[in-house]
Structure 1
Amino acid sequence: MHDLVAELHPMWKRYLPSGAEPPSASQIEALLEPLSADAAVELMTTLAADNLVWPGSKLMNCEIAHHTVTRIVKWLGPGATWWTNRQGNSWDPVTACTFDGMVAGSDGEYLAILIQVGED
């Protein structure tokens, strides 16, 4: 997850405060909370369909998002482990961006990550 955030950071850098750096791998790990597969589907649907910066502004159709993430969760299987940076009703930052949300899952061989970032 840290590698993905670090790889994407240069693309976001122009929108970030000067000198902003992504969190370290250990910082990201400390922010993650475990999820059930059902909760992963719910949160990934939200991240794929709803805009974190402008609530109510849709990024994609909810039904398509739900269908897509359900297939991903089923593909990884019942033994997959899922995590998120969501804490209650808020998202802890895993990037240097103002808004970010992430759900990640792994079956031990494959990794699926959905991340949404934004600046206002």
Structure 2
Amino acid sequence: MTDLEDILAQLWSRVDGCRLAAIAGMDGLLIERHPRQNSEPSGYAGPTPADLDVIVADVTSILSISSGALSKQVGGRVDEIVAIGPTGGYLARRIGSELFCLLIVGPGTDLANLRRQAETVSSGLQVELA
């Protein structure tokens, strides 16, 4: 298996406007991220480590809540959440039952490519981690 940091770096490079690619657990804990604020301080556009911890916790809550009645309404588990605003947004995609991929993007990001790349990486990791 390729190193998780390498997988996230490739994902980050394939999505124009991507500020951060990360893997987190459904327990609300961040597992890995790319880029790291301290590795590219001048070009880093992602959240601070403290803000990222809050974002991961919030997204975990949203994914957990959506697995209840909302999943019943749509006929299955909600695997993807997308939130976009005028200055950017995020996409969270489940990787099995315990993990999710999180992409934070800037404005103007191609949503079709964002979803496609997240699905490709999430599906690949689900197979490798099974």
Whether the TM-score (by the shorter chain) exceeds 0.5 is no
The TM-score normalised by the length of structure 2 is 0.30
